[in-house]
Structure 1
């Protein structure tokens, strides 16, 4: 039964009352749609709570004003809902996907992912999207009837494919995965429940994916400026940002720096969101999708930037890569975090008995791949602070990340 007062959805939106279901069938809720239930399960998961203490760019003790994985996730969720509303998509599914998109991230930001990927090179590698799937299908152990969160098919599909298809029409890895293949965790789950890896995800997942780009473009500008990694006028080398700064300075001359920064970042979000809405409406009018599958089989994203703003996004990311992500102070912390996680991986793999009881249960040193994956699962779930504490417990000297 559909609840009273539910929102209007376009014909091409994913329908929570027509979901393809869950791996373990459950009785429908009389008060919540399937996608609302998924959103709530994600919010109440242990992995979601740990995002509060996981690095986005700056480590946890560098200041309360910088984004963490959790605050970034909330910002992505807000933008994803706004986009979903504009297109008549299911807002709850878009929100669930935004809230879950970073559940597989490691401590210490992308440093952690790079380290675990190298440590796991002989055991299938490490990919944060695949890890997010492991979290919601295996590693969360809260429910009596199953491991994981038992999310709806549409939520799992969007989680895995929000960046596009993983396979082509001939079941070969797409460009992103051609060198190393699709992560094993995804292939293993796909063998149990087919997520149609050769198609795009639904519109809600596409909205969440582009919301992620918009959120971290804007907030990394904000955090980078407030951290003093670059000055606001250095941003003028990005034409898109130069235009926005000229607009601000023309309207508000001699504006104090903190307000100038905020005026810039809010305009970045607004321009990107408005561009996605215009471009999405243009593509939808050409495609004339009758259902969600028409979005999946369109052959290209439908919810995306226009060519001009796609280049603006790329140029902005190039600036941030050079001036922020590779800044000497950030790289210094990354190297120390790298050492912490490498040490932990080596020790836990060599001495699995040093892990907590629940993590070393049923392990055998003879099954090296399973042991390595268990160690990676344990480390990936750590917060920044917990990784430091574990290193201090096991080693005489722990790098100071300050």
Structure 2
């Protein structure tokens, strides 16, 4: 007997609000609507993806990135529904897949990974801070949609299957750790009971290890594809990097990229391999160059061809489309016959290598640049300063009324109060964080009547 992909427990919610069901709207469609209309989703438009959001309206932010991830994820799901024998009859729900992609970055704080690092340093002995863990907390607690008995918050009160799609790392983050210990990616202790309920309803085993649903796998791969392609496209548009820069990169950068790719794919990979992959990706760009020209002419032709990605929007988007299409067509699914919900999704070897090389190059090229380091440093210092100011003994008076009320209700539990401050700061957009900082520290005239 063929096991169902979705079962009764998948559609249940942490809190039964007793609402009458609308037969024209599936439970996953209701989840999608709740996410789209949430404050956390809107705030993604004001959070950095690669370049600070104040640099240009053209560059991607966390919101546009999430929309692109959702399109790629849906494309992968449609491919499996069309090609795979199991999923032809047990279709992946594309609305659930879309929602999984739209929520994947909700937990990111202002100023990207540097804001994340600043908050984690501040929360070192109070459960840490991690973007994926924060996403689950937002969905199940912070968002102001559903309240239960005694005003207990249930966040958006999404179905267990949708919440499962946000559970990217199945690890409980320790309450405290040494400063030299790396953060364990996963979920906070405050959501540990919820995670057990998710597992119980999705796979009938509350103690299941290495829990990750097929929707989460698809979202994760779609995120990598988007990051490796569209973030690099932004770098090209900005003139931040060109293909010529890539193939003539320093040995240190190529070595760093190779090491990260090697760690991910689990096989030997060196600088020569990095250059080989990059040369293949950009082969069409340099194919018309006449190699018989003298060095000066040849250098000029390479430079002009390389600049094409900055000047020619048609070529730039054409290359991105090609890379995304190749990656989607290279996805494979391995069915878990005992529990189809936990089926694994991966990329074929060559496609995975290509995605990883582009992703790691973009990441390392940007974080090592002095142009990016300055706003990164400012972001870390600003978030750290905000947290320090708001977590002092009497500083709760600086918090908005609703956050202040939560802070006071947690009186006597310092770690819980710190988490409430962390929730507030991490939910800020880049611009709001700068403005709030200015109201605390700047001599510039700021209206006291503007709401916090």
TM-score band, normalised by the shorter chain?
A: 0.7 to 0.9
Q: Partners of 2:183 and 2:236 in 1: how far apart?
A: 37
Match of 1:242 among 248, 271, 279: 279
Deviations 1:11-48 (A, max 9, x none): 67743777351112244321111111111111011111
Match of 1:344 among 378, 381, 386: 386
Trace 1:359-378 onto structure 2 (pairs within 5 A): 359-364=403-408, 366-378=412-424
1:211 aligns with 2:257: no
Q: Partners of 1:80 and 1:140 in 2: how far apart?
A: 24
SS at match of 1:329: helix
Deviation at 1:313, TM superposition (A): 2.5
Trace 1:7-46 onto structure 2 (pairs within 5 A): 14-15=5-6, 19-25=10-16, 26=18, 27-46=20-39
**CA gap 1:268/1:345 in 2 versus in 1, 3 angstroms:** same
Deviations 1:204-234 (A, max 9, x none): 2211111011011111111112222222223
Which residue number in structure 2 is paired with residue 198 of structure 1? 209
Paired residue total: 365
Q: Partners of 2:275 and 2:4 in 1: how far apart?
A: 36
Deviation at 1:267, TM superposition (A): 2.0
Which ranges of structure 2 fall in alignment gaps of 5 or more residues?
82-91, 173-180, 201-205, 248-273, 290-300, 445-452
Q: Partners of 1:344 and 1:394 in 2: how far apart?
A: 9
Deviations 1:153-178 (A, max 9, x none): 111111113x5x438xxxxxxxx999
2:114–2:379: 8 Å Cα contact kept in structure 1?
A: yes
Deviations 1:230-287 (A, max 9, x none): 22223345433321211355489966543332232222212211111xx33xx34xxx
Larger Rg: 2
1:307 aligns with 2:329: no
TM-score, length basis structure 1: 0.82
Deviation at 1:367, TM superposition (A): 2.6
Q: Partners of 1:12 and 1:56 in 2: how far apart?
A: 40
Q: Partners of 1:307 and 1:386 in 2: how far apart?
A: 43
SS at match of 1:304: strand
Deviations 1:72-102 (A, max 9, x none): 0000010011111111221111111001111
SS at match of 2:105: coil
Deviation at 1:185, TM superposition (A): 3.4
Root-mean-square deviation (Å): 2.8
Which residue number in structure 1 is paired with residue 119 of structure 2? 116
Greater mean alpha carbon deviation, residues 54-63 or residues 228-237: 228-237
Trace 1:174-189 onto structure 2 (pairs within 5 A): 183-189=188-194
Match of 1:96 among 95, 99, 108: 99
1:66 aligns with 2:59: yes
Which residue number in structure 1 is paired with residue 271 of structure 2? none
1:104–1:132: 8 Å Cα contact kept in structure 2?
A: yes
Which residue number in structure 2 is paired with residue 379 of structure 1? 425
1:353 aligns with 2:353: no
Which residue number in structure 2 is paired with residue 7 of structure 1? none
Deviation at 1:191, TM superposition (A): 5.0
Which ranges of structure 1 fall in alignment gaps of 5 or more residues?
1-10, 168-175
Trace 1:275-286 onto structure 2 (pairs within 5 A): 275-276=330-331, 279-280=332-333, 283-284=334-335
1:119–1:345: 8 Å Cα contact kept in structure 2?
A: yes
Which residue number in structure 2 is paired with residue 82 of structure 1? 75
Q: Partners of 1:194 and 1:228 in 2: how far apart?
A: 46
Which residue number in structure 2 is paired with residue 56 of structure 1? 49
Q: Partners of 2:183 and 2:123 in 1: how far apart?
A: 18
Deviation at 1:362, TM superposition (A): 4.5
